Every structure is written in structure tokens, then in C-alpha cells.
Structure 1
Amino acid sequence: MRKISRVPYARWQEDRATHLVVLLVDGGSWDGPVSWRKPVTFGLSFGLTPIAIAWVPSYLRNGVRARTVLLGLFAADCVLEVAGITVQAWRHMPSHFNMETPFDTGMSMTPAVGGGGLVAILATLSAAAFRRRPGGPPGMALALRAGCGNLLVGLLSGAAMIARGVYLTRTGHQLAGYASTASLRPLHGVSPHAVLVLPVLACLLAMTSWSPHTRVSVVRAAVGCYAAAVAAALVWAVAAY
């Protein structure tokens, strides 16, 4: 089974220590679209994000039944995404932008279709945070709304990566398709996790003796710092495009 040439992945967002353990056990390459680093990274991200998405809606004022359905679909989508990427790593084939065989095409399109499902599900949950003020301790409403906003930025950047890569692959530029996603990876990696980081900060501040005004001010400062990091990643993406 022919392997497609590897291209460097951006290393800033990936858990090298965990990947190294997998590498020592299974062998294989450290870099590239056929390495185990990709399923390990996706597994970690799709492990943390469902924790946040299962916890955050408890502060949103939406129906329990609708919330349960959305969370169930989200969990299934996460499993599908990681499973597809892992299967391709096990086969030593790229999981994204790989149209070499009908099976590879199906596996490659799975993350794209799953990504569309994630956008729809998370956009629905995020809309609830802006439609009605979330509950929780002081600063939680701001943390949730800022986290959901950043999450949507991450989803849209991921959609842009997939759209660009699929276009280049289908026009005969597969290696360019892999390389084209590099500029957006920092933005795609940083922004989604605000939905966990900022609400956790609001909960931790609730355990202090600080006044509500002070706690809200700290959350507001954290939101500003996170926004600056996301803006820097966006500027870098535009400059590197």
C-alpha cells in the first residue's frame, strides 16, 4: 500500500510526551500525516472538549431534552472523528485529504462531514449562551459567552482548513493541501479550549473570598488575554497564508 509523502506538522500544539509513549510502543514516524501524533492529538482534544461541552450546558437555560440529544450527537460525532483518524494511522495512510482509493476517500470525507455536524451542534449550544444569560457564580456568564465565541472561531478555522485542503487535493495538489493547513493550526488549536479554560476559572474564583466585582474583573482580564492570544494566532495565519 503506497504511502503519501510526509510534510511537517506544526509542533506547537501537540503533546509530544504522549506521542513519544505511543511511538516507543508501536514504532513509526514522529512527523507527518501518517504518524501516530495526529490521532493522539485529536484524541486528547476530543477528550477535553466533550468534558467541557457536557459540563458547560448545565449553566445554560435551555431544555433538558434538547440538551441531552445534542450532547449525545456530539459524543457520537467525536467518537467517529477520532476512530476514523486512528484507523488511518493504523493503516499508515493519511486521514485527511486522501483520495487515493474509494475507502480512503470515504475515510477522508468522514472528518469533513463530522466537522459539519460539530459546527451545527456546538453553534446550537452556543446560541443558548447568548440568547439567555447563563447562570452560575459571578463572571460565569461572561466566561461562557466568551468561551463559546472562541469555540466558534475554532470551528470555523477548522472548516476553512478542510475546505482549502479538499479543494487542493481534488485539483491535483495533495501535498499543497497538507501544507495549506499549517497557517491556521495555531488558531484552530488555541481558540476552542476557551470554553473549558474560562468557565473553570470562574468556578475557581467562586471558591475565593474575593468580592463578586473582583471576580468578574479577573474573568474579564482573562477573557481579554485569551482574545489577544486568538487575535495573535489570526494575524499569524493571515501573514503566513
Structure 2
Amino acid sequence: MTAAWPVRLRSARQIPLGAGLLLLASAAFHTVVLVLVGGPWDGPVSWRKPITFGLSFGISVLTVTWICGLLPLAARIRTLLLGAFTAASLLETGLITLQAWRGVPSHFNTETTFDTVVTRALAAGGVTLVAVVIALTVAALRPNPTTAPSMRLALRAGLLALTGSMAAGAVMIAYGLTLEGAGRAAEAYQSAGFLRPAHAVTMHAVLLLPALAWLLSRIRRPEAERLRLIRITVAAYGAVVALVTAAAAVGLTLAGPATTAAVSAGVTMAPALAFLAFGASPVVRANRRTTTPGNQKPTHGSHRPTLAGGLDDGGRHGA
């Protein structure tokens, strides 16, 4: 049993990784469909929805798979939370994609019994996502001395932002269901998504902030400097979130909510992916080799026991 458990842990990580890549492939496929078939970008029936949900949930599943290894969680709890998040992400994206191919709205649609079941299932999936994110946030707020302070702050701020994103999504769903229950489905389609920009800009902080902390550890910045930079980034990010949320709440957007949400998510994800790509670049790897034990003493905070924030360490942390 003892020897078999690490094998099961590896399998538990491989399934979410495969699911995340599948969701990204779905987003790419439906981008091609949109280009070939055409159709509106905004509105309750659009190829935009399987594209944006596939991309966002694909990135989110991969991100949660990574950060789960950095949080002080028991192995079985980690596997349970990661499995629930992955299943809910697949459910949400799958049902939205199904409804897009059927040519009907995915949310707030009770025209038929089947559509009603889909709408309720999407709400249940959302509840599952909220519960998992709250559990991960609570874990991040617990003391974790094996992780560098800069990474701890990045994880906590990112997960708190993700909790806010889930809360914004819950508000939109509750508002839309209230309108739909009152027989105002058309109004629900038009106005229930008013917080989509805020939902999008807060969703991927959990990738952006830890990715920056990880990159800073890869380029051997002293821990005090890393912590200071993460604090500045968190403060700047919080200001952007406050601005976007306030503008969304009063209906001030330069474009439609869907377009603004897509741009907000892209602005968040792009630098995070760039950080990860740069961290894996030959230049950074060469810099790491110059600080190996055979060359010189590592910079403070960069040795493996206290880093616990790199992609190469995450798979063993807490296992």
C-alpha cells in the first residue's frame, strides 16, 4: 500500500493535466469553428462561450494542479479538491459547449426540461467550484514555513482574488436566475453578466502572482527583494481590480461585457505565461547552474528546502 500511494498521487495529477490540455484544445477547435462558420461574438448564443470557457477553465485546471502542490494539504485532501475542481470545470465547459452546438443559450434557459437540467447543473458546478476555491484559500492562509514568504503571499493574494471571482460569478448567476424565475429571461441574458469584467480580471491572479514569485526565485533574487516586488504587484493588481469592478458595477465599459472580460482575462494570463516561459528559458537555466553547489553558494532564499515554489519542487512538496 505504501509503495502504491505515490503512484496513485502521480495518476491523480496526470488526470487534471490531461483535462486542462483537453479544455485548451477545445478552445482552439472552437476558435477555428468561429472563424469558419462565423456568428456573433456577444449574446447568449455564441461560439465565444466554448472558446472563453475552454481557455479559462483549461488554464485554471493546470494552475490549480500546480499550486495544490505548494499548499499545506494532506495528500488525500489535495487529490479530492483537485478532482472536484477538474470535474466541475469539465462539466461547466462541456455543458456550455453542448448548448452552443444546439444553438440555444446555456445559462438561464428553461425553455425545455433538458435546458432546465443544464441550467441547474451549471449552477451546481459553480457551487462546487466555489467550495473548492474556498478550501484552497483557507489552506493558503494556514502557516506554511516550508514555502518562501514571497510565494506564500502570492498564493494567498491569488486565491483571495479567485474567491472574489467566484463570488462575482455567483452574484451574476443568482441575479440571472431571479430574473428568469420572474419570467424575464430576455433581461437575464442581457444584464446578468454585468460583472463579467470583474470576474475575468480576478480569475487568473492565482496564476499571475505565483508565476511572478516563481520567476523571481528562478533568477536568484534575494528573498527580501522578491517579497517587496510581490507586495508591490499585489497592491497594483488590487487597484486594477477595484477600478474594473467599480466600472463594471456602474456599467462603464469601453466595449461590451463579453469583450471586456476576454481582454481582462488575456491581460492577466499573458504576463503569467510569459513569466513561466522565461523561467524555463536557457538563459535562466544557465543562471541556475552558476549557483549550484559545485560553483558557488546559493543566494539567500534560493536553495531547495526553502523555495518550495518552483515547478520542479511542487510535485514533491507535501507528498
Q: State the AA in 2 paired with 1:40.
A: I
Match of 1:201 in 2: 212
**Which residue of 2 is the match for residue 11 of structure 1?**
none
Structure 2: how far apart are the matches of 1:100 and 1:179? 17
Deviates more, 1:109-118 or 1:29-38: 29-38
Q: TM-score, normalised by structure 1?
A: 0.88
Show structure 2 runs of 5+ residues with no match: 1-26, 253-319
Q: CA deviation at 1:31?
A: 2.7
Distance 1:169 1:134, change over 3 A: farther
Task: Report if aligned partners of 1:169, 1:177 keep a CA contact under 8 Å in 2.
Answer: yes
The CA deviation at 1:213 is 1.0
Report the AA paired with residue 162 of structure 1. I
Label 1:114 to 1:151 Cα distance change in 2 as closer, same or farther (>3 A): same
Q: What's the TM-score, normalizing by structure 2?
A: 0.67
Amino acid at match of 1:104: D
Residues 28 and 51 in structure 2, CA contact (< 8 A), matched pair in contact too: no
CA RMSD after TM alignment: 1.9
Whether 1:175 and 2:175 are equivalent positions in the alignment is: no
Q: What SS does the aligned partner of 2:42 have?
A: coil
Q: 1:17 to 1:128 in 2, by over 3 A?
A: closer
SS in 2 for 1:182: coil
Change (3 A) 1:43 1:20: closer
Kept in 1, the 8 Å contact 2:180–2:188? The answer is yes
1:107 to 118, 124, 129: 118
Q: How far apart are the structure 2 equivalents of 1:20 and 1:59? A: 33
What is the CA–CA distance in structure 1 between the aligned matches of 2:242 and 2:249, rounded to whole Å?
Answer: 11
User: How far does the alpha carbon of each residue in 1:63-105 deviate from its partner, in whole angstroms, 9 at most, with x for none?
Assistant: 0111101111111111111110000000000000111111111
Name the CA distance, whole Å, in 1 between partners of 2:175 and 2:145. Answer: 36
Deviation per residue, 1:7-44 (Å, 9 max, x gap): xxxxxxxxx99865321234443332111101110000
Q: Which amino acid aligns with 2:91?
A: L
- Tell me the distance in 2 between the aligned counterparts of 1:26 and 1:77: 29
SS at match of 2:147: coil
- 2:82 corresponds in structure 1 to 71
Q: AA paired with 2:216? A: L
Q: 2:43–2:189: 8 Å Cα contact kept in structure 1? A: no
Q: Percent identity?
A: 46
How far did 1:175 drift? Answer: 1.7
How many residues get paired?
Answer: 226
Match of 1:33 among 36, 44, 55: 44
Q: Distance in 2 between matches of 1:177 and 1:94?
A: 11
Partner residue, 2:100: 89
1:51 corresponds to which residue? Answer: 62
Alpha-carbon spacing, 1:71–1:80, altered in 2? closer, same or farther (3 Å): same
Contact persistence 1:126–1:148 (CA under 8 A)? yes
Q: Which shifted more, 137-146 or 78-87?
A: 137-146
Shift of 1:212: 1.3
SS in 2 for 1:52: helix
Shift of 1:133: 3.0
Post-superposition Cα deviations, 1:136-183, rounded to whole Å, max 9, x if no partner, equal: 344100000000100100000000000000110110111211222332
Structure 1 residues 105 and 138: CA distance shift in structure 2, 3 A: same
Aligned to 1:206, what secondary structure does the other structure show? helix
Q: Which residue of 1 aligns with 2:159?
A: 148
CA contact (8 A) 1:61 1:134 kept: no
CA distance in structure 2 between the aligned counterparts of 1:199 and 1:20, rounded to whole angstroms: 28
Find the aligned partners of 1:86 and 1:17 in 2 and give their Cα distance: 13
Tell me, yes or no, if the aligned pair for 2:172 and 2:194 is still in contact at 8 Å. Answer: no
- Bigger radius of gyration among the two: 2
Q: SS of 2:111's equivalent?
A: coil
| C-alpha deviation, 1:223, in angstroms | 0.6
| Post-superposition offset of 1:226 | 1.1
2:174 to 163, 168, 175: 163
- CA distance in structure 2 between the partners assigned to 1:86 and 1:231 by the alignment: 31
Give the letter for the 1:125 counterpart.
L
Task: Report the CA distance between 1:108 and its aligned residue.
Answer: 1.4
Q: Secondary structure at the match of 2:250?
A: helix
Deviation at 1:122, TM superposition (A): 1.3
Which of 120, 129, 142 aligns to 2:140? It is 129
